[in-house]
Amino acid sequence: MKNLILIFLLIPIIGFAQNKKELKKRIVQKNDSIIVFINQIDQLNNKVETLENENAAFEGDIRKLLKKVSDEQEKNKGLNHNLNNQDTEIKVLSSSIMKLTNEIDSLIFKNSDCQQEIKDINEQLNLKLLEDDDCVMYLPAVFHSFEDIEDSGGEAYITFSTQVGDCFCDNQTFISFGAGSDLIKGKVYMFGLTYNFSDAGALYNFVKDVRRLTKYELDAGYADPTSY
């Protein structure tokens, strides 16, 4: 009877012990779960930190790109300004070219008129020379040579070059009656020229006079070369 009573008394204690073991087991399981959760949280925190670092780097890259875009925009503004200035300069140059073209056309037209006028004057002068045996035309020319004509009674061939543009390159040979025998080869003189028709109708060219250049003629730009 005493044993039975003892058993009844021990039953709650045994049950409590078992419950305690079960509770302890469950607590251990809970602790394990908490540790797992803590590890997962740490991993998530690491991932968050990594993402924050990557996001900061990404934001830095974006700021650099935005700065580069801003710089390029400023450069483009400068280029557009330069292009606008160049367009303006091109328009001004085009206008100047058109004006110069018109001026050149006008000068060509005037030059054509002047050439025709010079041609007309030369024709009139030639006619006057042919009509008047005593008309002498003085031209600056470079003396080259003097050669006596045998049995001519004092005539000689005198060779010289008249001025064409900036050079004395128009070679001439006239008959001279003594003028030019003492000239210096390569020097510029004023040649007095005339033209006469013979009885047979042939045109003869004569040097009637040769003189040195005056100061006025030298100042006018006639050259005095030493050799040609």
Q: What is the pLDDT of residue 227?
A: 41
Q: What is the pLDDT of residue 31?
A: 75
Residue 32 lies in a domain: no
Q: Based on DSSP, count helices (H) and strands (E) in the chain, helices before strands.
A: 2, 5
Residue 60 lies in a domain: no
Which residue, of 131, 151, 175, is where some domain finishes? Answer: 131
210 and 148 share a domain? yes
Each residue's pLDDT tens digit, 24-53: 777 777 777 788 778 888 888 888 888 888
Q: What is the pLDDT of residue 193?
A: 87
Residue 21 lies in a domain: no
Q: What is the pLDDT of residue 226?
A: 46
Which residue, of 131, 146, 179, is where some domain finishes? Answer: 131
Rounded to 5 degrees, φ, ψ at 132 are -120, 110
Task: Give the global pTM.
Answer: 0.38
Q: What is the pLDDT of residue 129?
A: 47
- Structural domain span for residue 215: 133-219
Distance, CA of 117 to CA of 123 (rounded, Å): 10
99 and 168 share a domain? no
CATH for 210: 2.40.50
Low-confidence stretches of the chain (pLDDT < 50) are 129-131, 133, 226-228
Which residue, of 116, 131, 146, is where some domain finishes? Answer: 131
138 and 206 share a domain? yes
Residue 29 lies in a domain: no
Q: List all residues 6 or more positions away from 222 whose beta carbon is below 8 Å from its beta carbon.
A: 140, 163, 188, 213
Q: What is the pLDDT of residue 130?
A: 46
125 and 159 share a domain? no
Residue 90 lies in a domain: yes
Residue 8 lies in a domain: no
Q: What is the pLDDT of residue 9?
A: 59
Distance, CA of 163 to CA of 140 (rounded, Å): 7
Residue 141 lies in a domain: yes
174 and 211 share a domain? yes
Residue 185 near residue 206 (C-beta atoms within 8 A): no
Residue 81 lies in a domain: yes
Task: Work out how many domains the chain is built from and give that number.
Answer: 2
Tokens linked to 122: 């030369």
Q: What is the pLDDT of residue 160?
A: 92
10 burial via Cβ count (<10 Å: 0-12, 13-18, 19+): exposed
143 and 209 share a domain? yes
73 and 140 share a domain? no
- b/e code 66-77 from CB counts within 10 Å (16+ = b): eeeeeeeeeeee
Q: Are strands 167-176 and 203-211 parallel, antiparallel or unpaired?
A: parallel
126 and 158 share a domain? no
Amino acid letter for position 145: S
